[in-house]
Amino acid sequence: MKHLAFNPYLPTWEFIPDGEPHVFDGRLYVYGSHDLYDGDVFCLQDYTVWSAPVDDLGDWRCEGVAFRKTDDPRNTDGRMNLFAPDAARGPDGRYYLYYVLDGRGTVSVAVSDAPGGPFRYLGDVRDADGALLGERPGDEPQFDPGVLTEGDRTYLYTGFSGPQDATRHGAMATVLGPDMLTIVEEPRFIVPGGAYAGGTSFEEHPFFEASSIRRHGDDYVFVYSSAAMHELCYATSKSPTGGFVYGGVIVSNCDLGIADGKPADKPMAAGGNNHGGLVEVGGQWYIFYHRQTNGTWYSRQGCAEPVFWKDGRLAQVAMSSCGLNGGPLPADGRYPADIACHLFTPDQPVYAGVPGQPRIKRDARDGEHGSGYIADIRDRTVIGFRSFDCHGVKTVSVWTRGYTRGTYQVMTAWDGPVLAEIPVDFSNSWVERKAALALPDGVHDLYLRFIGGGQTGQGLGGSLKAIGFGKD
C-alpha cells in the first residue's frame, strides 16, 4: 500500500454504513447508505460512492453524489430516505443500482454508464405483467437488496424478518432477466427468520436483514445480519436459489462471540445493527461492516477486516484499527484516536445508545470536515488500538482535553500489566502528555485505561484526540 489504511477506512467526517464492496476495472467501489453525523434517524443523506485503487486501499476518492433521494419520481419532495443499496454490472456493460425507499416494500433500480454514477432512475423490479415485486398478493415486503449478476441472470436477495414475526419468513432470492428488472424466477426463501429457524442450522443465528451475496469458487456465499444485529453471519450453497447451510459468524461490531485474547461474551465496544459484504482484492478477501459512533445508532461508519478461507469456511475475525492496511500500522508519529477499535467501560452494554458511555465524536458541525475524537471518557474506560509494528519505540503520547484529572495507564492487552502511566489534568484545549515506554520490537496492540474523574466527580468530561509514538 502507498497510503496507510485505517478503520474507519473513509475520512472521519464521512458516514457511509451498509457498505457493499465491488471491484470494477481496477478500482474498489463501495455502495452504501448515507448517515448524518448527529442524525436522529438512519440514512438521512443521498447516496455517495467512494472508490480506491486495488493496489492502494488507503487512497480513497469520493466519486460524488451518485443518486439523490429526489431522483426517484415518487420521492420528488425527498420525504423518503434511501436505505441500503447494492450494485452490479449488467450484461450490457452498464451499472445497476438496486435500492428500497423508506416506507416502500418494492425494489427500485437506477442505471449509469460509470460505476461511480451518477445514476438515473430506471424502474422497479416487476413480473412479466408489470406487477411490482412486493406489491402482488402473497409477496412479502422487500428490503436491503443484494445482487449478483452471472451472464444474463441477476440474483436478487431481499428481506427483513423480526425475531418472532411470523408474517415474515426470512431472506428470499428472486431471479431477474437480462433487462435487470423483470422476474424470470419467482422468490424462494433461502434463510429462515426467527419464527421459522427452529430445528434448522440457523436456529441460533436466524436471518434479520442485510442480504449480501458473493461467489467463492463453486459456492454461493450469502452474508446477512442475524437477530443479534451486531453480527454478520454467512451461509453457503452450490445453488444461488436454495440449499443454504449456516456457516458461522464473520464479524461482530462489538467483538462478541470471539475469544481473541478476551472472554467471548465480553463486548469490546458499543454495538448495533450491522450490514456489509465480502470482496476479493488481489487474492485477499475482506469483510466490510460498520460501527456505531456518537453514542447512537444513527451515525455509522464503514470498517473492513481481512478474512481467511480454510476448507471453504470462514472463522470470525476480530475488529482492528488497520483493516485494509495489509498489516499492522507503523508505530511512528501520531494517529487519530477515532481509529480505536475497542472502547468500553466495566459496565459496557452490548448496544449503543446508553447515556454516560464514552463515544466517538467530531469537532465540527454537520457539513463541515472536522476531526474525530473520543469523548465522555470516565473512570476505568479502556481504549484499544490494534495493531502496531513497533521498532525502537521509546515514548508514548496522548492529546487530551476537558475537565478531567487522572492517569492513562498504557498496556499492550486490555487486561495486561501497566507499562507506563501518563498523568492528565484540566485543559480547555488539546494538550500533549508524554511518558517513557520501552516496547520490545514486534507487533503490539495498544490499550489505554483511564483512572480518574471529572470536575463534578462523576467521572465524565475527558476527551482524547490522538495518540503518538516517539523514538527518542
Backbone phi, psi, residue 196, to 5°:
-125, 10
Q: Which alpha helices (DSSP H) does 125-218 contain, by range?
A: none
Cα torsion angle, 134, 147, 19, 323, sign: positive
What single DSSP character describes residue 242?
B
Q: Which residue of the set 35, 71, 144, 209 is catalytic?
A: 209
**Could you tell me which residues are beta bridge partners of residue 41?**
none
Which triple of cell numbers denotes residue 54?
Answer: 486495488
Dump the DSSP string for 389-436: EESS--EEEEEEEESEEEEEEEESSTTS---EEEEE--EEEEEEEEEE
Dump the DSSP string for 439-461: PPSEEEEEEEEEEEEETTSSS--
Quick one: residue 255, left, alpha or beta (phi over 0 = left, psi -120 to 50 = alpha)? left
Q: Which candidate, 462, 310, 450, 335, places its Cα nearest to that of 386?
A: 335
Which triple of cell numbers denotes residue 83?
Answer: 436505505
**Cβ atoms within 10 Å of 125's Cβ, excluding its own:** 23
Contact of 426 with 405, CB cutoff 8 Å: yes
Cα separation, 98 vs 363, in Å, equals 34
Contact of 257 with 264, CB cutoff 8 Å: yes
Q: Which residue of the set 18, 35, 72, 86 is catalytic?
A: 18
Which triple of cell numbers denotes residue 96?
Answer: 445497476
> What are the CA-CA distances from residue 464 to residues 287, 338, 382 (Å)?
28, 9, 12
Q: In the annotation, is 209 catalytic?
A: yes
Q: Which candidate, 252, 309, 260, 321, places its Cα nearest to that of 284?
A: 309
Q: What is the 3 state secondary structure string of 14-48?
A: CCCCCEEEEEECCEEEEECCCCCCCCCCCCCCCEE
**Catalytic (active-site) positions:** 18, 209
